[in-house]
Chains A and B, each alone.
Chain A
């Protein structure tokens, strides 16, 4: 696997790339980076050219010029594809990345062959209002002289299940790299309304679900709203499925991409 930078109008995008063939572009979750797909990419790259980018403001990419919405992140994805010369890709997104991937597929249908969205859900109108105040894992974290901001990022990295300390550390590093502005991607996700967007997805889509995903109970509803979708649920899959169960994650994607497009 190689790491590299691509220049887009807003700055530099850091990405990881491995393998040859048809491209699979991987979009990460909120306050995260392309590192989350490292284990999965090793499996995908046997048959595909796997590419994972960091959004502006996350990982090792430049900061976003202002607080980006989901649509603006989607536009960045297209700029990135332009910069590295990819006309059309299979696009995989999880959690916030699933929202971004959805917008890429809807707004630039000629750029997406197939879509995989993992771990995503939506809220009913009444709940959406309640979510406008970010819950306590998405509040802005200020730097503190006593270093307690590091502890707070560590706490957030540890919120989503039991993982080996190495995985927690990888996750924490993503918080530290994103810094005080990191949570802006969570807020963008909270401000986004996925439900009316799902019926507009034009390409074949896999809804990738796991029984321990926070939105597991909504996976069937997401699946139903997409015109041409399949649903795969991974038993005992945790939130950090990509890092904890990369084989299951990659196999579900590979099986789906293999299905001929009618």
Chain B
């Protein structure tokens, strides 16, 4: 796997890449980075030209010029594809990245072959009668964290990471993503709150896989999300959690490879 930079009009995008063949673009979760796919990429790169980018303001890319919405991040993904000369790709988006991926597919349908929405979510209306008690209160992990001379901001980032479970090496990978994103990091969580999957996902036209895990905080709405998408499939990974790309990379990659090879060749 190689790390590299490419220039787009807004600045430099950092990415990881491996393999040859049909392009497979991976979009990360909120306050994340391409590193979350480091364990998955070796499985995918045996068959595909895999590229995982960091959004502006996350990971090792340049800061975003302002607080980006999902559509802005989607535009960046297309600029990134342009910069690498990729005309059409299979796109995987995880968590908040699934919203970004969906917007790429909706607004630039000729750039997307197949779409995978991993760990997607939305907050259902109480009238929908879905039990969301597994999902923590949104405000408890998304408020802005300012730098403090006593270093206490680091422990707050650590708290937000530990919140979702995982082994120590995974928690460390994750906290480094919070540290890199810095005080502006949560802007992407707020952008996701402005996003309305219920009204946007029905506009997706390409073959789409909804990939969820039984331990995912949004597992309760996975079937519902699949139902929003005209040409949608659902795969559930037993015991898969929000960190499943890091904890269960083989299962995560397997579900993607299965979907990409099975449909519409």
- Say yes or no: A150-B154 contact (C-beta < 8 A), given A3-B12, A5-B4, A60-B60: yes
* Contact between chains at B179 and A154 (CB < 8 Å): no
Q: How does the 8 Å CB contact mask read for B173-191 relative to A, with 1 for contact and 0 for none?
A: 0011001101000000000
Taking residues whose C-beta sits less than 8 angstroms from the other chain, chain B's interface range is 20 to 34
Is A99's beta carbon under 8 Å from chain B?
Answer: no
Please measure, in the bound complex, the distance between the C-alpha atom of A179 and the C-alpha atom of B179, giving whole angstroms.
13
CB-defined contacts of B169 to chain A, threshold 8 Å? 143
Taking the closest CB of chain A, its distance from the CB of B75, in whole angstroms, is 22
Is B148's beta carbon under 8 Å from chain A?
Answer: yes
Is B64's beta carbon under 8 Å from chain A?
Answer: no
CB-defined contacts of B172 to chain A, threshold 8 Å? 143, 179
* Contact between chains at B12 and A2 (CB < 8 Å): yes
* Contact between chains at A147 and B176 (CB < 8 Å): no
Is A95's beta carbon under 8 Å from chain B?
Answer: no
Q: Which residue on chain A has the smallest CB distance to residue B7?
A: A2
Cβ-neighbour of A2 out of B5, B149, B151, B158 (below 8 A): B5
CB-defined contacts of B162 to chain A, threshold 8 Å? 145, 147
Cβ-neighbour of B151 out of A3, A143, A145, A150 (below 8 A): A150
* Contact between chains at B148 and A176 (CB < 8 Å): no
Interface residues of A in 160-205 (CB under 8 A from B): 165-166, 168-169, 172-173, 176-177, 179
Is A12's beta carbon under 8 Å from chain B?
Answer: yes
Please measure, in the bound complex, the distance between the C-alpha atom of A3 and the C-alpha atom of B63, giving whole angstroms.
13
- Say yes or no: A166-B147 contact (C-beta < 8 A), given A147-B155, A151-B154: yes
Taking the closest CB of chain B, its distance from the CB of A169, in whole angstroms, is 5
Please measure, in the bound complex, the distance between the C-alpha atom of A9 and the C-alpha atom of B14, giving whole angstroms.
22
Cβ-neighbour of B3 out of A14, A151, A154 (below 8 A): A14
Residue tally, chain A, CB below 8 Å to B: 26
* Contact between chains at B154 and A173 (CB < 8 Å): no
Please measure, in the bound complex, the distance between the C-alpha atom of A150 and the C-alpha atom of B247, giving whole angstroms.
23
Please measure, in the bound complex, the distance between the C-alpha atom of A154 and the C-alpha atom of B158, giving whole angstroms.
13
CB-defined contacts of B14 to chain A, threshold 8 Å? 3
Taking the closest CB of chain B, its distance from the CB of A44, in whole angstroms, is 20
Taking the closest CB of chain A, its distance from the CB of B1, in whole angstroms, is 9
* Contact between chains at A169 and B147 (CB < 8 Å): yes
Q: Which residue on chain B has the smallest CB distance to residue A12?
A: B3
* Contact between chains at A176 and B176 (CB < 8 Å): yes
Please measure, in the bound complex, the distance between the C-alpha atom of A147 and the C-alpha atom of B160, giving whole angstroms.
11
Q: Which residue on chain A has the smallest CB distance to residue B4?
A: A5
Taking the closest CB of chain A, its distance from the CB of B214, in whole angstroms, is 25
Taking the closest CB of chain B, its distance from the CB of A9, in whole angstroms, is 14
Interface residues of B in 1-33 (CB under 8 A from A): 2-5, 7, 12, 14
CB-defined contacts of A154 to chain B, threshold 8 Å? 151, 154
* Contact between chains at A150 and B175 (CB < 8 Å): yes
Is B262's beta carbon under 8 Å from chain A?
Answer: no
Cβ-neighbour of A173 out of B159, B168, B180 (below 8 A): B180
Is A159's beta carbon under 8 Å from chain B?
Answer: no
* Contact between chains at B168 and A3 (CB < 8 Å): no
Please measure, in the bound complex, the distance between the C-alpha atom of A147 and the C-alpha atom of B161, giving whole angstroms.
10
CB-defined contacts of B2 to chain A, threshold 8 Å? 5, 7, 12
CB-defined contacts of B180 to chain A, threshold 8 Å? 173
Please measure, in the bound complex, the distance between the C-alpha atom of A192 and the C-alpha atom of B7, giving whole angstroms.
40
Interface residues of B in 124-161 (CB under 8 A from A): 147-149, 151, 154-155, 157-159
Taking the closest CB of chain B, its distance from the CB of A52, in whole angstroms, is 15
Please measure, in the bound complex, the distance between the C-alpha atom of A2 and the C-alpha atom of B168, giving whole angstroms.
33
Q: A147-B162, A147-B175 are in contact. List 8 more A-B contacts (CB 8 A).
A: A2-B5, A5-B3, A5-B5, A145-B168, A147-B154, A150-B151, A150-B154, A176-B176
